[in-house]
């Protein structure tokens, strides 16, 4: 439901130019491929002209939002090596890679470049993080370090966000409409397109996709909002103005606590997963924080981030506490906590850190209509 309800959250791809001083090896490494639209491939073509051919493509995740794009993108460059993390899976039936849209030349990415020094010719290093959160599921992320630029790429492990919507959401009419759709206070309101209203819509989108039912909002997934939307099928911004969420006066405070001025941390859903195996997290961090990077590029939300190895490690707050600590409002993670303790209890393994816990912020939901 979150995915279809105008919750537009861009994903990113990173491109690394390698071996630029060797005419026989120079080229591009593509990390976390996105949809191979004509516009995207045109941009890649410009980079090929400048830096050389696409030599390697890396799918650094098992998550569907990344995996669904990887196969079509790899087919656009069949001459390139195509590496994927080695625990790709499907649910409820665990299908082979060929059934997941991945081409026949797909190769498993080794868990670490430490045992495969020849893989990147000394210019890159990588380390795979692998956590099994529960029955029938898996999580993997790849840290890829480009030595000469001091840049580390990661997929989902950390994020940072501020109150400014990403450019792609403000340059495309469809995406701008989503921002204004979420900025409404009433169902039939037509919101003026202003920078402030765009920011309001973005704040709400961020809170929705992270918490589903954030502490400053109230959801009504019953039939009444649907019936009301059916009465206004021509509403300007779509969906008949369907409005299953309302927001209280604490929404701005809620977002500011969540974003902490753009300070990096771990997405709540990702922390639920990673906390199943804190020892694997510490092992991975012990490897990647030995790299001499000063910039981190995640594939979601704000990037690049100016971070040293110690600052990157600080983002994983829960590893330095005796419980599953988050910096977010406890009111925000209440729904996720109850879901984990209740209907989802059988789907995830137990963690020694317990369920997500934050500090009470005193935020309140709006009154029921």
Q: What is the pLDDT of residues 95-104, one digit of tens each?
A: 777 777 899 9
pLDDT at 171 over 70: yes
Tell me: the pLDDT tens digits for 255-282?
999 999 999 999 999 999 999 999 999 9
**From start to end of 132-235, where are the E strands?**
139-146, 151-153, 217-219
State the average pLDDT for the chain.
Answer: 92
pLDDT at 1 over 70: no
User: What are the boundaries of each domain within the chain?
Assistant: 177-260
Q: 48-85 burial, b if ≥16 CB within 10 A, otherwise e? A: beebbebbbbbbbbbbeebbebbbebbeebeebbbbbb
Q: Give the Cα separation of 47 and 53 in Å (integer).
A: 8
- Identify the residue with better confidence: 360 or 369: 360
Predicted pLDDT of residue 4? 55
In the DSSP assignment, the letter for residue 166 is P
- Identify the residue with better confidence: 290 or 235: 290
Nearest Cα neighbor of 326 from 281, 276, 260, 277 is 260
Tell me: the pLDDT tens digits for 16-56?
999 999 999 999 999 999 999 999 999 999 999 999 999 99
Tell me: the pLDDT tens digits for 308-332?
999 999 999 899 888 999 999 999 9
pLDDT at 2 over 50: no
Q: What is the mean pLDDT of residues 334-356?
A: 87
Residue 63 falls in which region: left (phi positive, over 0), alpha (psi -120 to 50) or beta: beta
Predicted pLDDT of residue 5? 67
Tell me: the pLDDT tens digits for 103-154?
999 999 999 999 887 899 999 999 999 999 988 889 999 999 999 999 999 9
Percent of the chain with pLDDT over 90: 71
Predicted pLDDT of residue 219? 87
**Candidate from 187-201, 220-234, 252-266 with smallest mean pLDDT:** 220-234
Predicted pLDDT of residue 142? 98
- Identify the residue with better confidence: 97 or 65: 65
**In which band, very low, low, confident or very high, does the pLDDT at 81 lie, cut at 50, 70 and 90?**
very high
Q: What is the mean pLDDT of residues 194-203?
A: 96
């Amino acid at each position: 439901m979150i995915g279809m309800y105008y919750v537009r959250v861009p994903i990113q791809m990173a491109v690394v130019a390698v071996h630029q001083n060797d005419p026989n090896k120079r080229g591009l490494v593509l990390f976390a491929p996105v949809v191979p639209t004509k516009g995207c491939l045109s941009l890649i073509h410009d980079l090929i002209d400048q830096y050389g051919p696409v030599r390697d493509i890396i799918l650094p995740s098992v998550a569907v939002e990344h995996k669904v794009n990887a196969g079509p993108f790899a087919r656009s460059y069949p001459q390139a090596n195509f590496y994927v993390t080695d625990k790709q899976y499907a649910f409820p039936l665990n299908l082979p890679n060929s059934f997941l849209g991945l081409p026949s030349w797909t190769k498993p990415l080794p868990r670490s470049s430490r045992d495969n020094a020849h893989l990147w010719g000394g210019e890159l290093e990588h380390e795979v993080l692998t956590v099994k959160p529960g029955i029938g599921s898996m999580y993997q992320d790849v840290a890829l370090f480009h030595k000469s630029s001091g840049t580390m790429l990661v997929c989902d492990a950390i994020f940072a966000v501020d109150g400014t919507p990403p450019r792609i959401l403000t340059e495309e009419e469809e995406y701008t409409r989503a921002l204004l759709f979420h900025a409404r206070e009433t169902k039939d309101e037509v919101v003026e397109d202003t920078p402030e209203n765009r920011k309001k819509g973005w704040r709400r989108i961020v809170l929705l996709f992270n918490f589903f039912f954030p502490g400053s909002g109230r959801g009504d997934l019953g039939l009444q909002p649907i019936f009301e939307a059916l009465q206004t099928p021509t509403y300007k911004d779509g969906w008949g103005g369907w409005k299953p969420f309302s927001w209280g006066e604490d929404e701005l405070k809620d977002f500011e606590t969540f974003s902490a001025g753009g300070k990096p941390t771990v997405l709540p859903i990702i922390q639920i997963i990673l906390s199943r195996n804190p020892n694997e997290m510490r092992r991975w961090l012990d490897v990647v924080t030995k790299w001499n990077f000063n910039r981190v590029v995640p594939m979601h939300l704000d990037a690049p981030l100016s971070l040293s190895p110690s600052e990157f490690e600080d983002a994983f707050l829960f590893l330095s506490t005796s419980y599953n600590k988050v910096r977010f409002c406890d009111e925000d993670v209440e729904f996720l906590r109850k879901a984990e303790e209740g209907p989802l209890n059988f789907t995830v393994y137990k963690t020694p850190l317990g369920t997500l816990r934050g500090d009470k912020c005193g935020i309140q939901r709006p009154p029921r209509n």
